[in-house]
A and B are shown apart, each in its own frame.
Chain A
Amino acid sequence: MTLSRRKFVHLLSIATTACTALITPAISWAAWVNDAFNANETEEAYKKLFGSTSLKKTKKVKLKVPKVPNNNNAVPISVKTDIQNVDSISLFVENNPQPLVAIFEIPDGTLPKISTRIRIYQTTTVTAVVKTGEQLFSKSQRVTITDGQCGG
Chain B
Amino acid sequence: MKVRAIIKNNITNVRVLAEHPMETGLEINEETGQKNPVKYIQKLTCEYAEKVIFLAHLGPSVSENPYVSFSFKGGKKGDTLLFRWNDNTGDIEKTEAIIN
> Which B residues touch A101, using CB under 8 A?
58-59, 61-62
- Whether B69 lies near A118 (C-beta < 8 A) is no
Tell me, yes or no, whether A8 is within 8 Å of chain B by CB.
no
- Whether A98 lies near B60 (C-beta < 8 A) is yes
* A74 closest partner in B (C-beta): B63
Distance A116 CA – B59 CA, assembled complex (angstroms): 12
What's the least CB distance linking A104 to chain B, in Å? 5
Of B46-54, B77-85, B92-100, the stretch lying at the interface with chain A is B46-54
> Which B residues touch A33, using CB under 8 A?
57
> Within the complex, which residue of A107, A111, A113, A120 is in contact with B51, where a contact is CB–CB below 8 Å?
A107
- Whether A111 lies near B64 (C-beta < 8 A) is no
> Which B residues touch A152, using CB under 8 A?
64
- Whether A107 lies near B53 (C-beta < 8 A) is yes
> Within the complex, which residue of A102, A106, A110 is in contact with B62, where a contact is CB–CB below 8 Å?
A102
Distance A93 CA – B59 CA, assembled complex (angstroms): 12
> Which B residues touch A82, using CB under 8 A?
none
> Within the complex, which residue of A104, A109, A114, A119 is in contact with B73, where a contact is CB–CB below 8 Å?
A109
Distance A118 CA – B74 CA, assembled complex (angstroms): 29
- Whether B58 lies near A110 (C-beta < 8 A) is no
Q: Mark A87-105, 1 if CB is under 8 A from B, else 0.
A: 0000001001110111111
- Whether A104 lies near B62 (C-beta < 8 A) is no
- Whether A100 lies near B70 (C-beta < 8 A) is no
Distance A107 CA – B54 CA, assembled complex (angstroms): 7
> Which B residues are within 8 Å of any A CB, using their own CB?
11, 24, 26, 51-64, 66-74
Besides A111-B70, A118-B63, 8 new A-B residue pairs in contact (Cβ under 8 A), listed by A number: A78-B69, A103-B56, A104-B55, A104-B70, A110-B53, A113-B70, A114-B68, A117-B62
